[in-house]
Structure 1
Amino acid sequence: MKYNGLFFTFFLFLILIGCRHAPVNEKTGIVPDSLAIITERVALDFPFTETEIDKQLKEKIGTFTAEEKAEWENRNWLEWKIINGEKRYFSRAVSNLNLIRKFHNQRAQRDSIEARDPEILSRKSHTQEIIKVSGKDAEPAIPVNLTINYTLTVDADAVPPGETVRCWLPYPRENHLRQQKVYLISTSRGNFILAPDSAIHRTLYMEAKVEKGVPLVFKLSFSYESSGQYFNPDNIPVNQYNKETAFYRKYTSEEPPHICFTEKVKDLADSIVPKRDNPVETVRKIYSWFTANIPWAGAQEYSILENIPEYVIQNRRGDCGMQTLLFMSMLRYRGIPVRWQSGWKVPPGAKNLHDWCEVYFEGTGWVPVDVSYGLQYSTNQKTREFFISGIDSYRLIINDGIAGRLFPEKKFLRSEPFDFQRGEVEWRGGNLYFDKWDYDMEIIYN
């Protein structure tokens, strides 16, 4: 199947149709504001002029020639678009260029620096402890207890005074062995709605009225226990899948536009792994290919990207979610069940939005895989390959899939239509995009 701009527009149309109050042209079936909304979002992601980006390049990279800059642009290492007839650069163009250049041109130096990075060293030590205490049954290990104070603040006068703002905040899932003892401590509004644990995106919903000139603040506090887990690959049996079940079909199917079996996705998967390889070997080889070929880089907002797996293939880079969507597309194409999982990574001093996945092996069950963390710097194979079949304790799981409906349903196109980590906000006049509000997560390690 070919996924192009028309398909992407149609998919946005389906999302907006799901938002019951979205205005639809009865003759064409097209949501008239959808393309305008996406155009505005693209402009926000590409704010810098050429003069501004040249200044940033001199500050961050130093002296460069016109030829070097042209090469970076031709390879799309320095990302830009023509918007309203003007060349505009991605908000993270220069920082991404630095990452990409180090990955391709200064690999030995980059590896040496990263091998000594305190965050990476701490992560490796933590995963070694998980391996040490994990038994054959791969029970959750090394639990950590955390309290989260989450705040979402809508800008003053972003909405007219007296209007009601609807807000969805992230809340932890409770149906995971690795995530237990979830307790709601407090909310800033007594009238709230907690999404059922079966929802794809776990949310806590609140409403509040706007006062003139005053920021509107939504707060949420909760605690939970999170554990790591490690599955020794030697203990994962190579059993055949029952391909006739609804379960198998669900987790090996496409979910366009970002989990898809395009020709480029299929060709890449087949070039990495022979079709005769078993699922465990297929996962290992594709995972290792990512470590060798795809550097982490800051991403555009997913709502403005037509096809994330093909973007990663073409540009040879991606953030955690982009890498995971390509990884999942290749595994599902090869008949291996895999599902999306996301929320936050929450290690001390390194909290951030984060995406990963779980792979299903017959006879074992769901096994966590974090493709963007990559192979660790170690001569010990289990430590090196930990994240192919394991996960650390410092996670907050919010989502068990992509592009689900919020609870209660949102009326307008979401700021992030596929994932849910920061929150969502709207009023009767429309969605409030990320430029109209801020979020903050305070973590207390108990």
Structure 2
Amino acid sequence: MVTPSVAAGEPADELDRWIRQGDYAPAEAYLRGQVADPQAPIVDGPAAQLEFLRRTRREYSLTEAELLDQLRESLPDVTQADIQAWTAADDLQHRVIDGEVRYFRRAANNLPRLNADAKRRRDAAAAERAETTPKKFDLLALIREVYAASERTGAVEVCPVRHHVTYALTVMESCDRVVPGAKVRAWLPFPQEYRQQSQVRLLSSTPEVKKVSPNGSPHRTVYFEETIGDDAKPPKFTVEFEFVTAAYCPDLDPADVKPYDTDSDFYREFTAERLPHIALTSDVRELAAEIVGDETNPLRKALRLFTWVSKNITWIGEMEYGAVPSLSLKGLTMRCGDCGVQNISFVTLCRTVGVPARWQSGFGTKPGEENMHDWAEFYVEPWGRLPVDASYGLQKSDDPKVRDFFCGRMDPYRLIVNLDYGRPLIPPKTSLRSEPTDFQRGEIEIDGRNLYFDDWSYDFDVESTPEK
């Protein structure tokens, strides 16, 4: 999200300086004076910039004492000196806001991913407590099964998994906008019918769904409207659906690659810059050229970029995207970020070297690991769009086919909701979205005013059953 601008001139220049330096209090005071109606829906301008600062404060909300308490849960011997050293090394994510150091709300969990000594001490403490690591889904076994099924049958789509999902969005009792007569609008995720994902069925909803966005929409949603009754009961929206997703396992041989039609609208669109999140800066172009070297085959180019992202952009828990000015620049400069940062960094690098690429996202549904997830696609003739997950990255295997599986192939434990990022919902939302980039948890507004994530909760319940 780009921080919305205000009118040009000296006050605006001072505002930019305040924000860059972390002097939020004077910035907020100035912006409040520019908002004509504080009760109006936030769309853009000074009101949106105020909201950006509020969301950033929420992300960086921990004091040193609060962070110390969190760290002691996994690092019982941690000291203030440790915190100061890790802060100085930028391994504890922090900002200075109004003269005080404030830590990212997920800094404690991210620390062992960024600092080897913290990881060693955490693992040693867990061993002393005889903690057992939960058994993880055997992804390598699944990949081998997918290859075997594809080779046995000659099919590209194999190992289908039927999914049954119940999804709910519930407004919290504490929300002060829940008043009799208020109009509530809500958008919840819904599956795309897309290549390896099919047999989508809407089974039930509460209340009745007003609209299902057309298949192929950038963000596929079910849309609700409701008027709050005299009892002022906080609204809850529930949808139940099912779908089948197969693994996608094409036979990819670089010798079979066909040339692009570089004059086509398609090629131009998906190799273009799209600010702020796909930023083709001179530094990015230099990096991409260094990674691909003299390689000209787009399939091999994509693999080189995938390998680089896998090895060089560390997965960490990320801020809400509405507080990140540019996802690709975050990943390619800071060299860390979550699945969305990793995959849009891959998309950006692909576009830089002339390989069409785009965002895709929804949920991962591996049993025991169900969660929101982002991945991507790149385009190579004659296969068309090929799936890629630079966050899953290189697999630990001596077999190159298994190691590189997620560059051009995909597992069946996915719910595809989005074919792009940052596009309007259907019907359009009145106010600034809680998540202006991605769409997974849902969106809700009351009387045209957005409810942010601290006003509601969501529940994603999925049963996944491999089909015979």
> Could you say whether these structures have the same fold, taking a TM-score greater than 0.5 normalized by the shorter chain as the test?
yes
Q: Secondary structure at the match of 1:119?
A: coil
**Structure 1 residues 123 and 276, CA, compared in 2 at 3 Å: closer, same or farther?**
closer
Partner of 1:385 in structure 2?
A: 404
State the distance in 2 between where 1:143 and 1:246 align.
34
Give the superposition deviation at 1:67: 5.5
Partner of 2:160 in structure 1?
A: 143
Give the superposition deviation at 1:119: 2.4
Partner of 1:266 in structure 2?
A: 285
**Structure 1 residues 418 and 137, CA, compared in 2 at 3 Å: closer, same or farther?**
farther
Bigger mean CA offset, 350-359 vs 280-289: 280-289
Aligned residues of 1:24 and 1:32 also touching (Cα < 8 A) = no
Partner of 2:98 in structure 1?
A: 84
State the distance in 2 between where 1:302 and 1:44 align.
13
Which residue identity does 2:322 align to in structure 1?
S
1:400 pairs with 2:419:
yes
State the distance in 2 between where 1:241 and 1:72 align.
48
Q: Secondary structure at the match of 2:170?
A: strand
Write out aligned runs for 1:254-403 (5 A): 254-403=273-422
1:188 pairs with 2:182:
no
**Structure 1 residues 82 and 271, CA, compared in 2 at 3 Å: closer, same or farther?**
same
1:297-336 alpha-carbon deviations (Å, 9 max, x no partner): 0000111111222212232211100001111111001000
**Structure 1 residues 102 and 137, CA, compared in 2 at 3 Å: closer, same or farther?**
farther
1:241 pairs with 2:236:
no
**Structure 1 residues 391 and 144, CA, compared in 2 at 3 Å: closer, same or farther?**
same
Partner of 1:15 in structure 2?
A: none
Write out aligned runs for 1:108-187 (5 A): 118-119=135-136, 122-135=138-151, 139-158=156-175, 159-162=177-180, 163-174=182-193, 176-187=194-205
Q: Secondary structure at the match of 1:225?
A: strand
Aligned residues: 420
**Structure 1 residues 66 and 441, CA, compared in 2 at 3 Å: closer, same or farther?**
closer
**Structure 1 residues 177 and 103, CA, compared in 2 at 3 Å: closer, same or farther?**
farther
Aligned residues of 1:157 and 1:213 also touching (Cα < 8 A) = no
Give the superposition deviation at 1:139: 1.8
State the distance in 2 between where 1:124 and 1:433 align.
38
Give the superposition deviation at 1:394: 0.4
Write out aligned runs for 1:54-73 (5 A): 54-64=68-78, 68-73=82-87
Aligned residues of 1:157 and 1:214 also touching (Cα < 8 A) = no
1:9 pairs with 2:25:
no
**Structure 1 residues 223 and 287, CA, compared in 2 at 3 Å: closer, same or farther?**
same
Which residue identity does 2:195 align to in structure 1?
L
Aligned residues of 1:23 and 1:31 also touching (Cα < 8 A) = no
Q: Secondary structure at the match of 2:360?
A: strand
Give the superposition deviation at 1:284: 1.2
Q: Secondary structure at the match of 1:444?
A: strand
Bigger mean CA offset, 184-193 vs 403-412: 184-193
**Structure 1 residues 358 and 213, CA, compared in 2 at 3 Å: closer, same or farther?**
same
1:223-282 alpha-carbon deviations (Å, 9 max, x no partner): 111111113332662322110000100111111100110123222212222144321121
Aligned residues of 1:272 and 1:285 also touching (Cα < 8 A) = yes
Partner of 2:130 in structure 1?
A: none
Aligned residues of 1:238 and 1:278 also touching (Cα < 8 A) = yes
Aligned residues of 1:259 and 1:309 also touching (Cα < 8 A) = yes
Partner of 1:49 in structure 2?
A: 63
Give the superposition deviation at 1:365: 0.9
Partner of 2:436 in structure 1?
A: 417
Pick one of 69, 88, 102 that aligns with 1:74: 88
Q: Secondary structure at the match of 2:146?
A: helix
State the distance in 2 between where 1:265 and 1:276 align.
17
Give the superposition deviation at 1:208: 1.8
**TM-score under structure 2 length normalisation:** 0.84
Give the superposition deviation at 1:368: 0.6
Give the superposition deviation at 1:45: 1.3
Aligned residues of 1:265 and 1:309 also touching (Cα < 8 A) = no
Aligned residues of 2:357 and 2:378 also touching (Cα < 8 A) = yes
* Overall identity of the aligned pairs, in %: 34
CA-based RMSD: 2.7
State the distance in 2 between where 1:33 and 1:232 align.
51
Give the superposition deviation at 1:157: 4.9
Partner of 2:26 in structure 1?
A: none
Aligned residues of 2:184 and 2:446 also touching (Cα < 8 A) = yes
Q: Which runs of 5+ in 1 are unaligned?
A: 12-21
Structure whose alpha-carbon radius of gyration is higher: 2
Bigger mean CA offset, 133-142 vs 246-255: 133-142
State the distance in 2 between where 1:48 and 1:260 align.
31
Partner of 2:24 in structure 1?
A: none
Bigger mean CA offset, 191-200 vs 59-68: 59-68
**Structure 1 residues 435 and 148, CA, compared in 2 at 3 Å: closer, same or farther?**
same
1:358-403 alpha-carbon deviations (Å, 9 max, x no partner): 1110212111100000111111111111111211000000000111
State the distance in 1 between where 2:291 and 2:114 align.
22
Partner of 2:249 in structure 1?
A: 230
Give the superposition deviation at 1:156: 2.1
Which residue identity does 1:363 align to in structure 2?
P
1:106-165 alpha-carbon deviations (Å, 9 max, x no partner): 6xx99xx9xx98425x11111111111225976211001111000100112522312111
1:61-103 alpha-carbon deviations (Å, 9 max, x no partner): 2434655434422332211112333221111001001122249
State the distance in 2 between where 1:117 and 1:377 align.
19
